[in-house]
Chain A
Amino acid sequence: MNNFQFIDSMWGLLILVSLSTYLWRAGGVLIATRIEPRGKLAQWFTCIAYGMLAGLISRIMLMPIGILAETPLIDRLAALAIGFAVFFAMKRRLLPGTLISTTIFLVLTTLRANGII
């Protein structure tokens, strides 16, 4: 296989992958056009979207893939728990909770990388 075919196939594949992702978005438009904007169906789909996203995030937290999988579960959860405490103490503001969790996680992984804990 020469170089041009290789590049061709990479771009061809990208176009196919992009189209197959866009199909879901466009399908959503088709359905949204046909249903009542504030109706029960729209609410039901919103709930499904939230259910899917929560499932995705919780899977990433508990069973990550890639380099996040190399960190101990207890570090990921402990950092999250402390962030939650801050989040509720600060009247549910997004930024403090996120920053505290990430900072604690960074400290924990740094300590482990240096063999301190």
Chain B
Amino acid sequence: MAVKVSLSLKLTLIVVLISIIIVASLSYINVYWQNENEKEIYDKTIGWSVANFAESHAALETLDDNLSSYENLSEILANTDTLYISLVNLTVEYSDILQININTPVDNNLTTIISTNNNSLGSLSNPEYNNDSYENGNTWYRINGSILTIVSPINTHEGIVGTYEIIISMFPKGISYVAQIQFIIITSFISFLILIVALLFLLRKAIVKPIINFRNTAKIFGKGDLDARVDIDSKDELGDLAVAFNEMAKDLKESRDKIQDYNQILENLLQQKDEFIGQLGHDLKNPLQPLVGLLPVVIEEEKDPKIKETLTVMNQNVEYMQDLIFKTLQLAKLRSSNIKFDFENIQLKKEVNHALATEQLSLKERKIAIENRIDEGIIVNADKLRLAEVFKNLITNAVKYTPESGGKITIDAVKEDDFVKVSVQDTGIGMTEDQIKKVFDEFYKADVSTDEYQSTGLGLAICKRIIDKHGGKIWVESPGPGKGSTFYFTLKFGDEK
């Protein structure tokens, strides 16, 4: 069985993908905006301080008087994560002063490393700082990512006494990378959820619900309620589809109503025809009574062999006519819609024996062996009188088409899956493939060319109708002309109580 992927699931997947894309974009914008914001903050606060610090520092003659410079530095130190401060080529005297001044306001809060290095004075002209650092008086500072590096000479009244180097993280103090990433993840996740819910809600309303509406309407429509209509009034393609569907439904309903009307007319005509045939058959029987009733008597009484022969032929034809009327009447009845069948549980073997008893005379005359092999335990659910009619017709047929000497008729029944298969087999003249196809048609006669087998061509059509009404099947098999035929039909099991 193919895996059914619902539209909802597909749409959900699409929504999830779209949401991921949107949220990723938003996160990128968020990060970008955050960076911009950081820069702005830096420019407004730290940047200003750094610039001021550098400027004022450079302008002042002595370190002692450089109070504003210290304040600026302190501000930087207070607002940023100062990673590293080093003092280069500083005399111990100045180093002490600077150390005290820097440490005083910030000592406890910052990881500040101050080191002294008295080795050289040359770092100012270090080309490393010239490359992509910004010149501001005598001070160089460089921004590399979020890291700010300031290198500045220390001017005193004695001239440049050394250089200091400060490396500062540009993130405002208290906002760490981790916190920022967490913030981004959480906001992304929330917006992701909101997006999914909103999109799903919209898609459900716009696509899935109308489609479910279509499906349900189509189901109801298919079950025969042609008044079912799709209830969608949106102005989109689905709305157009709904209008088209409803128009189709309307047309179908009109067509069906028309067909039903015609059908009713036809049924009435058929009913009238059946009634007519029934009445006709009935009326044909009465005038036949003296012929049917008295011909055997008159034949018996008649002494003149010529007249006797004539009367015998007449009697045969009268019998044939009677048979024809009886069967036509029966077919008309079987065709009419108000025919009733009385189903009951029947012991099949007994029923066949009963049918055989009525045919006993002709069997004796014809010297045909007949065997009822049906198991006594087989019980079928059938209309007794109609089933008797089927056996009568099949046995009469078998007798009619089986030669007198050495002929044999075998009646049997086997239990199959959920039904009983009955067979009536003869060793008679057999059938061609064409005959097998047509033998159950009304008025079909196997052998039109000779009068040897006088037949109404209705017996098997009656059998078929009766078996149809029992919910069974009837068919014939024959290996070919001269090789006998076997008629089969199926019946339902009876309750074996």
Question: Are A and B a genuine interacting pair, yes or no?
Answer: no
Interface, chain B (partner A; CB < 8 A): none
